[in-house]
Structure 1
Amino acid sequence: MLTAIIMAGGSGERFWPLSTPEKPKQLLNIFSEKTMIRETVERILPIIPRENIFIATNELQATAVKEELKDIPEENIIIEPAFKDTAAAIGYSALIIEERFKSKLKRDEKIEIVVLASDHLIKRESEFRKIVKLGAKEATTNGVIITLGIKPNKPETGYGYIEVKEENKLILNNIYKVRRFREKPNLETAESYISSGKYLWNSGMFIFTTETIFKNFDVLMEEHAEIFQSIRKKLINNISGLELTNLVREDFKKFEKISIDFGIMEYSKNIRVIPVDIEWNDIGSFNALEEVFEKNSSGNVVRYCNIREIDSSDNIVIGDGITISLLGVKDLVIVKNGKNILVADKNRTQDIKKIIKKGEE
């Protein structure tokens, strides 16, 4: 039984001022007429029915998510009472899914979960769905956790990497044992990863059965496992929404704030990776727009505005229907949304969250 958890609790700070805590990146239609979370749902609908798709979000964004995804059952909108990172979020969501479907399983059937981000771009959608089904079969058959590793096309320093246990050349869509996960490298290290041919970008997409993920929690994250046991006792009578959120609020306060990467993926002995080429982009900053949209004759990316330009090139300009004039500027990100305007060096877009904190002082 294939299900999905779409992670939709992020604030999208690196896309400020377009993205706000109440309406973050996944709820914006930056790349098409549809929001990113809508595109994520539609990407998997051919293989996962709506009643099997769950959205993990928070109290601040829950109303907007429900409004955007009216076709997803409201009881499938999982509202976390506190941000405790992905280990708690994924485990909690898996508990709810297990409780929902365990009585409906056929003999020897397992609940398979694919964990997806709500704000990634995947152009080769048919290929992606094929890989998800392949990964789900492997996860069920061999009791392993599958992650999708993106075949790198450049020495990217903004992604984590997966090192593969394999002496021969990696073949797309094959399944390999993982040697270890690597943190975001410097440029020299990234170049060595690429030249070795044994490293893949960590996409943050995982596939596993509920049985396997909770076994890993029991072994590697005992404190989380104990809290899950407490929560499990409260998942009765199909309670959902804010009623459930309030019921587990005190339990959530006990979770250590830690990602599933640090808690499980880096230490588990049963991780497998599938190298894929699905034209994936995690849209981690405004700079990603240069990889998605065509540039004009001056090398500028222009969205939702008109520009007048003289001696200006390689800028990213986003407006809200206005005309923006550029004179002698290069390598800038210029964004206007309502009363907020951002002007940033393209090489500093990872620091946009510092501007937000400065405004809160």
Structure 2
Amino acid sequence: MSENPFIAIIAGGAGTRLWPRSRSGNPKQLLDFGQGESFIRQTYRRVAPLTAPDRLMVITGPELAGAIAGELPELDPSQIICEPSPKGTAPAITVAAAHAARRARDPTLITVGSDHYIGDVDAFRRCLRSAAAAARQTGGLLTVAVRPTHPDTGMGYIHVGESAGAFVGIPVHRTREFVEKPDKATAARYVAGGQHLWNCNYFAFSTGSLQAALARHAPHLELLLAALIRSTDFSGELRDHWADLPSEAIDTALMERADNVFTVPAEFDWADIGSWDGVYKIAKSVPGATENYVAGGEHLGHEFLGSRGCLVDAESKPVAVIGLDDVVIVESADAVLVCHRDRAQEVADLLAQLRSDGRAELL
């Protein structure tokens, strides 16, 4: 990259499907699921070599800022930027763009999630370098997307079109459309066809190109961006606008509507760790993995008898599993979860039920 881009780690999500480990005050990006460090720490290490130290930032909420500062002591407090409340990736990325544009003239901004698994870090960095170069040279809005390994109805897909050339040695394609969470038959057709990729929610654009696109397709966000860039009181200006903003993803607010979107097809192994089944599958992809996986509390000496495909994560008690296959067992200080791995996505529904029942202390 000819310039040092700004890189924003978006870290405001709650990670509800990884309950009871992931809670509103201690979400999954702050947790270690057996890799030796938290997701956000892993993310920081991946992106830090791509830019200057003072061009990194984290977008999060005030309730997480202290914990994130503890995980990332390299960052100055001014690099941890707090949204007043969670509103989705569209407002978060707008805030990141404003922070960057206040510090440099029309800089390039890269945004990444804080809780992903990346198999090949070097390939990941090459793709982000390509996206940043393409964003600068084309004036377009860039995405990074990976080839699907199976039909997944919980994923968003990007339909890639004709080639737009190569940037930093990596081919880039025009984007035809975004498709959110197709049915099983459609997802299978996408995988077989080879033209639909999983949307990683990694983006790159110049702040000027982003502002122009927002003015056309999401004027309420362009108003926020412009106000934050020129304000002498960034935090106060943000609070003044925040209540009127809808909660929305950048995909639906902008990327699906814009006509200058390009995609970098990525070849590295990738997963959004959105459920306990996802944690298990990533663990099983590591050479030498055992048939059962202990995500936490290995020192407690868990035991498995006649059981396969199980995941155990425990804080304080040894867990014994007999004659069960493909189950998730998670023990925390105040709750225990037991579910089949193929129903792990329903943990979010369980939390909705707890909320409806007035069990806020468990959230």
Q: What TM-score comes out, normalization by structure 2 length?
A: 0.89
Verify the 8 A CA contact 2:211 2:225 in the aligned structure 1.
no
Offset, 1:316: 1.4
Partner of 2:41, secondary structure, is: helix
TM-score for both structures, normalised by structure 1: 0.90
| Counterpart check, 1:267 vs 2:270 | no
Q: Distance in 1 between matches of 2:305 and 2:177?
A: 49
Q: Alignment partner of 1:23: what SS?
A: coil
Find the partner of 1:355 among 338, 350, 355: 350
Measure how far apart 1:297 and its partner are: 9.4
Which residue identity is paired with 2:291?
G
CA contact (8 A) 2:33 2:279 kept: no
Query: Deviation string for 1:51-95 (max 9, x for gaps)?
Result: 100100011111111222121111011100122211111112211
Q: Secondary structure at the match of 2:203?
A: strand
Give the stretch that moved more between structures: 248-257 or 140-149: 248-257
Partner SS for 1:291: helix
Q: Is the 8 A contact 1:150 1:277 kept in 2?
A: yes
Matched, 1:148 2:144: yes
> 1:297-336 maps to which residues of 2 (within 5 A)?
299-303=291-295, 304-305=297-298, 306-336=301-331
Write out per-residue CA displacement over residues 161-201 of structure 1, whole angstroms, 9 at most, x where no aligned residue: 0011249xxxx931111110011122211110011111111
Which amino acid in structure 2 is aligned with residue 232 of structure 1? I
Q: Distance in 2 between matches of 1:134 and 1:298?
A: 37
Offset at residue 146 of structure 1 (A): 1.0
Residues 28 and 174 (structure 1), Cα distance of their counterparts in 2 relative to 1, 3 Å cut: same
Indicate conservation of the 8 Å contact 1:82/1:249, yes or no. Answer: no
SS in structure 2 of the partner of residue 39 of structure 1: helix
User: Which residue of 186, 194, 204 maps to 1:207?
Assistant: 204
Residue 159 (structure 1) shift: 1.0
Measured after TM superposition, the shift of residue 298 of structure 1 is 8.1
Partner of 1:123: 119
> Are positions 1:2 and 2:1 aligned together?
no
Q: Which residue of 2 aligns with 1:290?
A: 280
Partner of residue 139, structure 1: 135
Name the SS for the 1:323 alignment partner: coil
2:101 corresponds to 1:98? yes
Q: Is the 1:166–1:198 contact (alpha carbons within 8 Å) kept by the matching residues of 2? A: no
1:119–1:283 Cα contact (<8 Å) kept: yes
Contact 1:82 1:253 in 2 (8 A): no
* Aligned-partner Cα distance in 1 for 2:313–2:243: 39
Which residue is 2:239 aligned to?
A: 249
Letter of the structure 1 residue corresponding to residue 212 of structure 2: K
Residue 157 in 1 paired to residue 149 in 2? no
Provide, for residues 181-239 of structure 1, a one-character-per-residue CA deviation record: whole Å limited to 9, x for no partner: 011122211110011111111111011110111111000011222233333342x2xx6
Residues paired across the two proteins, number: 344
Structure 2's unaligned 5+ residue stretches are 164-168, 359-363
Aligned to 2:30: 27
Separation in structure 2 between the aligned mates of residue 93 and residue 181 of structure 1, nearest angstrom: 23
> 2:35 is matched by which residue type in structure 1?
S
Unmatched runs of 5 consecutive residues or more in structure 1: 103-109
Q: What's the secondary structure of 1:82's corresponding residue?
A: coil
Report the equivalent of 2:217.
Answer: 220
SS at match of 2:303: strand
Q: 2:192 aligned to 192, 195, 198, which one? A: 195
